[in-house]
């Protein structure tokens, strides 16, 4: 059985041909050129050097993630293309398994960590059982501090490996754990092939169109697009927003302010309304009366489908900033005594209960809690 194994999931690229008995050969490069330029030439040179015909390959194996989004796609595309050209099945091997295989002889825990950016690592914790490494956790992404704490909780010695050990070397060593040396730190195609041999015996080879990548997280481009789509903007109310606020009132409150009340309030010269928009559509508002040197918050309202997403918190931040710009010395508000969610929100901004207005609300005679915050 001959397996062509490819890896381009991280900073290095490699290709290997592996049999049941041994690694016939491996080419590994960890330099400046991109995987799209190096991976297939490595495989071609491997066939030439070993004098192996492509038709003699029985399976193609590739590391399937987590890892570099671009690198994973390059590797999977190359593997699928070869499988389709040669009429062979594909074996997708999880990248964290591949890295862990470098420390297969370890007697303690094996913890591969890959740099996932934004202060996180991809990781899994392994331990040897019946001669093979077995995962004790799911593949996941978390901070290195959280990973270290999980390893500590096992109460066993551990070796860390993977490119995530570079930015977090001091944290790992200070926790009393070992880091594998450079020759065993990164994922290699030889390990992909070794694990693929086992996968073949377990009938895990699939048709190339059925192979999938393991991402764990959205790509940076997807995250940035989502952030842009979910971005909130804030502006002061204009006369044209009276109907907008009236509609939000009706959707949010059992006793909403009427359109005339909102219009009269807007005209009095003492009220400021802040509109929150998402994709150009108003989704909430907050109002405050400026009386002498104090601010009285009238309402904070967010349409039902956008509630629970932090919009109310952002509106409060904008109100507080506005109050400071207008040189107010404090802010006050009334809230239903039963509205725990709103009370918790206000308390998070430093508002404190100062009194009760008995039977304040007309719909059910519920009392209002008076809250105050110094600025």
Cα angle, residue 225 at apex, residues 81 and 96 outer, rounded to 5°: 50
What are the two backbone dihedrals, phi and then psi, of residue 132, each rounded to the nearest 5 degrees?
Answer: -130, 150
20 is catalytic: no
From 249, 273, 334, 347, the catalytic residue = 334
From 105, 145, 346, 361, the catalytic residue = 346
Q: Which residue has the tokens 């450079």?
A: 182
334 is catalytic: yes
Q: How many CB atoms lie within 10 A of CB 45?
A: 13
Round to whole Å and give the CA distance between 162 and 213.
19
Q: Hey, what are 48's tokens?
A: 């030439």
Catalytic residues: 334, 346
């Amino acid at each position: 059985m001959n397996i062509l194994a490819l890896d381009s999931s991280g900073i290095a690229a490699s290709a290997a041909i592996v049999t049941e008995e041994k690694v016939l050969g491996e080419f590994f490069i960890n330099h400046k050129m991109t995987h799209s330029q190096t991976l297939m030439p490595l495989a071609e040179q491997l066939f030439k050097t070993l004098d192996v015909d492509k038709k003699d390959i029985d399976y193609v194996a590739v590391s399937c993630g987590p890892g570099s989004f671009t690198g994973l796609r390059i590797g999977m595309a190359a593997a699928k293309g070869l499988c389709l050209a040669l009429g062979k099945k594909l074996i997708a091997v999880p990248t964290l398994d591949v890295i862990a295989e470098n420390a297969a002889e370890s007697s303690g825990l094996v913890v591969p960590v890959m740099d996932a950016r934004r202060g996180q690592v991809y990781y899994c914790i392994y331990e040897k059982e019946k001669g093979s490494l077995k995962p004790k956790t799911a593949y996941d992404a978390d901070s290195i501090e959280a990973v270290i704490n999980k390893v500590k909780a096992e109460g066993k010695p551990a070796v860390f490996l993977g490119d995530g050990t570079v930015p977090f070397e001091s944290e790992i060593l200070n926790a009393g754990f070992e880091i594998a040396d450079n020759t065993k730190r990164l994922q290699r195609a030889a390990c992909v092939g070794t694990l693929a041999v086992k996968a073949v015996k377990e009938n895990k080879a699939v048709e190339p169109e059925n192979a999938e990548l393991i991402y764990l997280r959205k790509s940076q481009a997807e995250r940035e697009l989502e952030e842009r789509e979910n971005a909130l903007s804030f502006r002061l109310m204009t006369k044209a927003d009276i109907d907008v606020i009236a509609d939000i009132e009706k959707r949010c409150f059992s006793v909403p302010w009427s359109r005339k009340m909102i219009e009269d309030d807007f005209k009095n010269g003492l009220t400021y309304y802040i509109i929150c928009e998402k994709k150009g559509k108003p989704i909430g508002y907050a109002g405050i009366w400026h009386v002498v040197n104090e601010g009285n918050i009238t309402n904070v309202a967010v349409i039902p489908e956008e509630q629970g997403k932090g919009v109310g918190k952002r509106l409060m931040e904008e109100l507080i900033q506005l109050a400071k710009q207008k040189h107010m010395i404090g802010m006050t508000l009334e809230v239903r005594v039963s509205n725990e969610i709103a009370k918790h929100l206000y308390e998070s901004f430093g508002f404190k209960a100062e009194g009760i207005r008995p039977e304040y609300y007309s719909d059910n005679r519920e009392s209002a809690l008076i809250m105050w915050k110094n600025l």
